[in-house]
Chain A
Amino acid sequence: MRVNDAVSGALFILLAIGLIGIASTFPALPGQPYGAALFPTLIGAGFAICGVLLVIRGLAAAGREKPFFELDPLLRVSRNAISLGMVVGAVVLYILLADWIGFVPVAFLLLLGMFLWLGARPLPALVTAVLFTGITFWFFANVLRVPLPRGLLTGII
């Protein structure tokens, strides 16, 4: 997903306004001229300047070579777009489900689903999903003692 520099520049100007706005609410230190707001305000000023420069550059180029919005040609193939969504979706699903259902079933199902969507044959996909989930859980939860969520399997593993 590519946007013209003018668009990203405008976004950075908005970011600058937000940043400076929030920073202005930080309490000042009594008796000291500079406080917590100074550094974020300077960063905001930097964003504003860069944003303006990007807008100028983007508008200059807009008529000639660059449209305001452009999709990676590869993403127009719906299979690719879904693959990309799958990467993000898998992590989102993990965030939503892991605490409730547990790491092992969620990771296993995510792996199996992604393997099959990306065109792996069912048997190798199944075997790899089982092995990788098992080894990862054993290594992180048992060896390194990371409290990976056990969810529905609490007390069983």
Chain B
Amino acid sequence: MDVIFSALSLIADPDVILVIVVSAAFGMFVGAMPGLTATMAVALLVPVTFFMDPVPALAAIVTASSMAIFAGDIPAALLRMPGTPASAAYTEDSYAMARKGQLNLNLGTNLTVSVVGGLVGVAALIIAAPALAEVALRFTAFEYFWLAALGLSCAVFVSSADPLKAFVSLLLGLMLATVGIDPTAGVPRFTFGSVDLLAGIDMIPAMIGLFAISEIMRGVIRMQNVKQDMPAPTGPVFAGVGRVMAKYKVNIARGSLLGTLIGALPGAGADIAAWISYAVSKRFSKEKEKYGSGHIEGVVDATAANNSAVGGAWIPALVFGIPGDSITAIVIGVLYMKGMNPGPTVFLQNPQFIYAVFMIFILANLVMLPLGWAIIKAARPLLRVPRNLLLPMIIIFCIVGSFAMTNSVYGVVLMLTIGVAGWLLEENGFPVAPIILGLVLGGLFERTFMSSMLRTNGDLLGFFERPLSATLGVLTLLVWALTIARALLARRNAKA
């Protein structure tokens, strides 16, 4: 109980509440802008959180990411453009509903179900994280090695259409992680005589480059100010939502649980959760033919799933320090910056922080209801914010944010280099999310690999000697085997 009270006192601070409200508004805005993603919202927020205490810093990230995922639904219905990739799965349905005069029914349902989904994700986090942390306490370097390997493998194979290219991206991330002083011998590697590189590649400028600069480079040539007519609002926002929720309560439960699970899977986040839930919903629906033409059922599943994935992704991040998606990859970076190395020991040493995170999650989801209502009301003028003013401002913000992380122009150089590289890679079908996972996990992966190698004298079988490590190792190898089998099968089908 003491822990809960000290956690309460950590978040009952007016500063923390202010941070939650401001970052909620920020997340809503960025999420609602087509082309600006939830990851970008978080990446742009981090330089500011750098100067905060741990609890408000985490509060800002949790709130902004939850809001952005919901807010992505708004332009989907109004403009037929998903605000974030997580809303792409049901954009057609949302827009068709809006055209049929059910705009507010769609947005009201999206909002309410997002809140429910978000809360389910948090509940799973609260239940699963401490239990898993107990197991994780028994982990040695072998288990952490396999865990990192499993996380990286999932990032490559579960979430990508082209595993080969995703694997190359992952290698690029791991390569970037080797820059700087090596963890076992203290030798400087790939620094080319630069003092800045000696400290390694700073994650946050890299992140801003990959998820903001390259996004802007793509956006600036497709830039158009919104001129099209938006469907008219119809009646109060929450009218009829209760009936929809009662009718599709099974869908809400299914979407939320599926979303939490997919979110918790390393490497897969809210967007994949939404796609899979939408597909599952259609598969089991009695009215399959209506999907895609303005039917609310699939929307309910998917919108519950993408918000529950936000909470689910925090489970492996907090317990093992293995990110569930690119947002939690940033979170792990922030935790390290704050000296709270993620992993089971945080649960022992700083349980009040963990409980504070849980409470912020609940609070953020509750705040979403009134703020979401407000943003639905304000959506029209907001979506007309001119692009030609917005993009240059984001560029300046990226520059200042990267500068602030290193207090020198080195951060800006890093951001630009990695941003341009990210743009080139993405143009050529190499996904960028594995790069950031490789960069974040690279250190842990190499450290545990080296200490395991030294302990077994290079005998790879030694990696399977402990029952826990053997289980994780076999799981990792299974992921690889399945992927290779899938690739070979796809090839044979293509030839036939």
Contacts and interface: CB of A to CB of B under 8 A. Distances in A.
Interface of A: 1-3, 8, 12, 19, 22-23, 26-27, 29, 32-36, 38-40, 43, 46-47, 50, 53-54, 57, 72, 74-75, 80-81, 83-84, 86-88, 90-92, 94-95, 98-99, 103, 107, 110-111, 114-115, 118-120, 124-125, 128, 132-133, 136, 140, 144-148
A2 B178 contact: no
Interface stretch (B61-69, B181-189, B234-242, B350-358): B181-189
Contact of B221 (A26, A84, A111): A84
Contacts of B389: 115, 120, 124-125, 128
A12 B168 contact: yes
B48 interface: yes
Interface of B: 48, 51, 164-165, 167-168, 171, 174-175, 178, 182, 184-185, 187, 189-190, 213, 216-217, 220-223, 386-389, 391-393, 395-400, 403-404, 407, 409, 412-413, 415-416, 420, 424, 427-428, 430, 446, 449-450, 453-454, 457-458
A19 B96 CA distance: 52
Given A36-B185, A75-B221, A90-B395, A54 B400 contact: no
B412 A95 contact: yes
Contact of A118 (B392, B399, B449): B392
B154 to A, nearest CB: 17
Q: Which of B388, B409, B416, B449 has the most CB atoms of chain A within a 10 A radius of its CB? A: B388
Q: Which of B51, B190, B221 has the most CB atoms of chain A within a 10 A radius of its CB? A: B221
Contacts of B454: 32, 34
Given A23-B189, A35-B187, A91-B398, 13 more contacts: A12-B168, A27-B187, A33-B458, A40-B178, A46-B171, A54-B165, A57-B164, A74-B222, A80-B220, A87-B216, A91-B412, A98-B409, A124-B389
A153 B296 CA distance: 58
Contacts of B427: 1-2, 72
A34 B453 contact: yes
Contacts of A83: 220-221, 223
B400 A91 contact: no
B220 A22 contact: no
Contacts of B174: 43
Given A84-B217, A95-B413, A119-B388, A53 B164 contact: yes
Contact of B393 (A94, A111, A147): A111
